[in-house]
Chains A and B, each alone.
Chain A
Amino acid sequence: MPRYFMQLRDGSEELLDPDGLEYADIDILQKNVLVAVRELISEDVKSGVVDLRFRIDAEDRDGSIVYSLAFTRALEIIPEDRPHGAQHG
């Protein structure tokens, strides 16, 4: 199975994944990136400060980005003025 590395980046900083993990296909990789981003955001929520400047770039062994997910795209925020029952998104 191919190995991918989840690099956490914002405009200026990056936290590199030293080990990487193997994923059977890109679909499973994308699902895991989404889970990872949401988990990071949820820990931020518990601390009271949510930093949405980051993204996760999933890279293959050669360092090519095969998938990228910005924190802002990992969740939907429903504004307080939206009536219940209205369509999401």
Chain B
Amino acid sequence: MAHSMVERDVPLLWLTRKLKRIGQLDADDASRLASLPLRIERIPRHRELVREGAAPEQCCLLASGFACRYKETETGARQIVSFHLRGDLLDIQHLLLARADHSLQTITEATVAWIPKPELLRLAWERPNVGKALWRDTLIDASIFREWVLNVGRRDAKSRVAHMLCEFVVRCEAVGLGTAANFEFPMTQEQIGDATGLTTVHVNRTLKSLDADGALVRDRNRFQVVDWKRLCGIAEFDPSYLHAAA
């Protein structure tokens, strides 16, 4: 079953790469990580992975495609609080918190690996390098959330959208998904609106304005970066809050 072994290895390979980027792992740490039990699942786009209020028994590791975390008001207005890409553990908090306080959803077709909580937790206790890297991962998550509070609370629509796009680009670059020079975004205008607290019409007008500024170019629902420096300038983007994650 060589084929299934290769498929099995991919998610943990991305996780190991990420943890090496943000922490220090030795050969034993890496081999313990590579032997974690997991269940791989292909998921269509816009599919819920974890629902707020659930009590997950496994952690969700993204191996391909894109996902987001979000919360909703009682009337169903949605706020995306973070985007995720391959190598990200989407709900590492459930190792220590029983209930999901937000929901997870794919935004494109995706491959996820479900890892049983007790196994990941035991690895974190037994291999301090792994534990420390996972801790750093949650701290960097928190730093990203702080930046998003600033973004949604204090930047005008154009800088806000530009900033969200800049973060997405540098995080994708860090895992080998595209380059800033001609990056094409996978999300819809609705998803950008949910991440920035704007209506889709407002996102549309804002993207048009970024296009007019020469930072992006749009063709119907596809848009890509054409002038990275200009986009960063409009966003006032300083990636230091991403620490080693990008």
Contact = CB atoms under 8 A, between A and B. Distances in A.
Asked if chains A and B come from one complex, the reply is yes
Interface of A: 6, 8, 15, 17-19, 21, 32, 35-36, 39-40, 43, 46-47, 56
Interface in B20-64: none
B220 interface: yes
Given A15-B208, A19-B189, A43 B202 contact: yes
Given A8-B205, A15-B208, A46-B156, A39 B200 contact: no
Given A17-B201, A47-B156, 11 more contacts: A6-B200, A15-B204, A15-B208, A17-B189, A17-B204, A18-B189, A19-B190, A21-B200, A35-B199, A36-B199, A43-B202
A36 B189 CA distance: 14
24 contacts: A6-B200, A6-B204, A8-B201, A8-B204, A15-B204, A17-B201, A17-B204, A18-B189, A18-B221, A19-B188, A19-B189, A19-B200, A35-B199, A36-B200, A36-B202, A39-B198, A39-B202, A40-B199, A40-B201, A40-B202, A43-B156, A43-B157, A46-B156, A47-B156
Contacts, number: 44
- How many chain B residues sit at the interface, stated as a range, is 10 to 19
